[in-house]
Structure formats: C-alpha cells, structure tokens
C-alpha cells in the first residue's frame, strides 16, 4: 500500500487526502486502525464524512470477517529481529516480531536498555543476518540512551556496517514528560514510513506516567492516557508491519511473590492487555540474567539465561562438567 491509495478512497480528493496525511494518516491501513472520532478531531473533517472514508478504507482492504486462513496469510508477512543471542531468540520464537508489541519488564539495572541497544544494531542488518534492513526510532524517557554504548556493541559484533552509519540510522527522541511522549508516538505514523523505520523502541513506556500521576485519585486518568498511547503503538505495529519494544518497571510486592521474585510489573491490567508478549527479566548468579515469558498468546512460558557484554546481550556458555 502506498500513500497514493488514500486518494483512491471514496470521497477523498487531494485536499482531503492532504488533511489526512498531515494528521499522520499516511496510508489506508492507518485510516482503518485509527478510531473515527480521533480522525475527526485530528483532521477537522466532519464525523459523518470520516465514517464514510473509514467504511471505504475497510472495503478497500477487505476488512470485515476474514477466515483464520487469511489471517495465517497476513501473519506470513511477519518479520523477526534477532536479539543477537541464540537463547533469547529461542525464547522469543525466533526474534522480536512485527505486528506485535513486546514488553521487557524488570528492575533497574537488569538489562532492559541493553537489550534495546542490541536490537537497535541488529535491526539494521539484512534479513539473512537476523535484521530488518531498516532504521530505528528510539524514544528515550529516562535519558539513558548512550551512543557510545551502541558504538561499542556495533564494533564488538564485527559487522560489515560502519558503527557511525549505525548511529546515523537511529532516530532518537528524548521525551521530557508523558504528554511529550504521547505526541512523539503520534508522530510515528508519519515518521516511520518516511524514514524506513523498521523498529520502534520506547524506553521506558511508564516512567513519566508513574512520576506524574501520583495517588489513587489520578490513577484512572493515568491509565486512560497510558492506554491511548499503548493502542497507538499497537496500531503502528499493524499499519507498518514493524515490531514495537517497550520497557516497563517493577514495584515490590512482598505479599505476592512472582516467579520467585517479589517484584511485579507496573501499569496494571492496561499494560498487561496491550502487550502481545511480556518478558520478565531478573538477575541470576554470577552476573547472569534470566528472561522469562510471563504472558504470550503462543510463546511457551520458558526461561533462558543470558549475559550483558561488549556485544550487547550474549548466550551464557553451558556449564562444563
Ligand atoms: N559494556 C558493557 N559490558 C558489560 N556489561 C554492561 C556494559 N554496559 C552496561 N552493562 C551492564 O548492564 C547493566 C545495566 O543494564 P540496563 O539495560 O541499563 O538496565 P535497565 O534494566 O535499568 O535498563 C549493568 O549491570 C551494567 O553493568
Ligand atoms: Mg534502562
């Protein structure tokens, strides 16, 4: 699907198509996956007209009931990005998937950002080397994006690509508060297709929301705003066939020990429902790390061990004897 397809929609002339495009609705898929109310608000197009445009977009993409076999076909377009560790790839069913949102959960220092950095490099490789042949957007909410570390990973992996080129292909946005973060996510609908972006990272998804909405009385508002952001990201994964990786923090809940760990993911049910695959990370013996699938529609609840090294994340050699 290309941008030109917008003009092929019933009732969409050049003016209307430019209104849609400037609101980030750059292709027919985005028109279909965005709630009509939101399209009307963003574009200023009347609600009834929007409903007609959406109906026409659905017709064009043949959206209604589809057979499970058609869904099977659609999922064949799914691409996977290697994590640079065979064990982690195995855990993720081959790599981080497009058309899905993957959540990395864990305490401070466990390696969430390191996995994201490794993915930023791997995504740029050709598919035969486990990559997505594309560029990366990194939304940094904690100020922990360190280009020197990416440079180190890219160098240590001894790739055919110049580490400076790898840095040039990572588009970084520092989000200063949750409203800014939402705005940046909104802009991805235009930015990703225009810049060959094949992977989006939000590290961390929840930090600002937790910091800004304190106390029970603000919880509902926080969850509603978080939900809207998460759903935009999910739509992005579908509209552009790309993987979104987000990180999540934990809070201690000694009353409820979770896989031998008193820490629980933050963000409640909203976060749990929006993410396709939830991976819980914790520290293991001798500096190793453990990753465990805690929720996924088809990945088994396995766990694997890995370590953080100059190469990003790597397998832990099997113990001898
Ligand atoms: N070059 C490196 N070699 C080995 N370990 C590293 C390197 N850089 C960072 N680490 C380790 O990564 C961990 C921090 O991981 P990070 O991904 O930043 O945590 P978080 O889960 O908070 O995002 C620390 O234990 C640190 O020692
Ligand atoms: Mg981090």
85-136: per-residue pLDDT in tens?
999 999 999 999 999 999 999 999 999 999 999 999 999 999 999 999 999 9
Cα–Cα distance, 67 to 64 (Å, whole number): 10
Kindly give the pairing relationship between strand 263-265 and strand 101-106: unpaired
Helix (H, G, I), strand (E, B) or coil at 264: strand
Indicate the pTM of the whole model.
0.89
Between CA 37 and CA 224, with CA 24 as vertex, the angle to 5 degrees is: 50
Cα–Cα distance, 238 to 133 (Å, whole number): 18
The alpha carbon of 77 is separated from its chain's Cα centroid by a whole number of angstroms, namely 17
Indicate the Cα dihedral angle 59, 60, 65, 68, nearest 10°. 170
Indicate the Cα dihedral angle 69, 74, 77, 79, nearest 10°. -90
Residues 81, 243 contacting (CB under 8 angstroms):
yes
Structure-block tokens of residue 63: 């959206």
**Protein residue whose Cα sits closest to atom 19 of ligand 1:** 109
- pLDDT tens, 43-69? 999 999 999 999 999 888 877 788 899
208, containing H or E segment: helix 207-212
Cα–Cα distance, 101 to 274 (Å, whole number): 8
Nearest to 25 by CA among 57, 47, 55, 60: 57
Residue 12 phi, psi (nearest 5):
-110, 105
Cα–Cα distance, 103 to 265 (Å, whole number): 10
Residue 111 CB less than 6 A away from ligand 1: yes
Ranges in the chain, pLDDT < 50: 1-3
Residue 131 CB less than 6 A away from ligand 1: no
254, containing H or E segment: none
Query: Which of 308, 310, 314, 316 to probe ligand 1 with, by most ligand atoms within 8 A of CB?
Result: 308
pLDDT score of 19: 93
For residue 283, the cross-strand partners are 289
Kindly give the pairing relationship between strand 263-265 and strand 277-283: unpaired
Helix (H, G, I), strand (E, B) or coil at 18: helix
pLDDT score of 1: 42
Cα–Cα distance, 284 to 289 (Å, whole number): 5
Cα–Cα distance, 16 to 272 (Å, whole number): 37
Residue 4 phi, psi (nearest 5):
-60, -25
Distance (Å) from CA 125 to ligand 2 centroid = 23
Nearest to 292 by CA among 158, 147, 103, 136: 103
Distance (Å) from CA 142 to ligand 2 centroid = 7
Structure-block tokens of residue 37: 């109310």
Atom nearest to 287 CA in ligand 1: 25
Distance (Å) from CA 109 to ligand 2 centroid = 7
Domains, the chain, ranges and CATH? Answer: 3-60 (1.10.150.20), 75-315 (3.40.50.300)
Residue 112 CB less than 6 A away from ligand 1: yes
pLDDT score of 4: 55
Query: Which of 85, 109, 115 to probe ligand 1 with, by most ligand atoms within 8 A of CB?
Result: 109
């Amino acid at each position: 699907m290309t941008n030109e397809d917008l003009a092929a929609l019933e009732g969409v002339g050049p003016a209307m198509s430019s209104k849609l495009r400037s609101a980030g609705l750059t292709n027919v898929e985005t028109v279909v996956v965005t709630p009509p109310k939101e399209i009307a608000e963003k574009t200023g197009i009347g609600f009834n007209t929007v409903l007609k445009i959406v109906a026409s977009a659905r017709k064009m993409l043949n959206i209604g009931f589809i057979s499970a076999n058609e869904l099977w076909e659609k999922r064949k377009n799914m691409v996977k990005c290697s994590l640079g560790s065979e064990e982690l790839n195995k855990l993720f069913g081959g790599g981080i998937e497009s058309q899905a949102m993957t959540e990395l959960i864990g305490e401070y220092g466990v390696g969430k950002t390191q996995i994201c950095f490794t993915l930023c490099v791997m995504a740029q490789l050709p598919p035969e080397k486990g990559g997505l042949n594309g560029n990366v957007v990194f939304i940094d909410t904690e100020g922990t994006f360190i280009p020197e570390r990416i440079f180190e990973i890219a160098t240590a992996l001894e790739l055919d690509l110049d580490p400076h080129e790898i840095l040039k292909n990572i588009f970084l946005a520092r989000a200063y508060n949750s409203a800014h973060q939402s705005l940046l996510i909104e802009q991805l609908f235009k930015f990703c297709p225009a810049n060959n972006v094949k992977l989006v990272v939000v590290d961390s998804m929840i930090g600002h929301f937790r910091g800004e909405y304190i106390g029970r009385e603000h919880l509902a508002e926080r969850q509603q705003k978080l939900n809207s952001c998460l759903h935009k990201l999910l739509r992005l994964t579908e509209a552009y066939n790309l993987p979104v990786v987000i990180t999540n923090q934990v809070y201690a809940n000694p009353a409820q020990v979770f896989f031998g760990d008193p820490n629980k993911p933050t963000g409640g049910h909203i976060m749990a429902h929006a993410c396709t695959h939830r991976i819980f990370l914790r520290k293991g013996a001798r500096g190793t790390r453990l990753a465990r699938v805690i929720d996924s529609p088809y990945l088994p609840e396995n766990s694997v061990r890995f370590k953080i090294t100059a190469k990003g994340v790597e397998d832990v050699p099997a113990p001898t004897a």
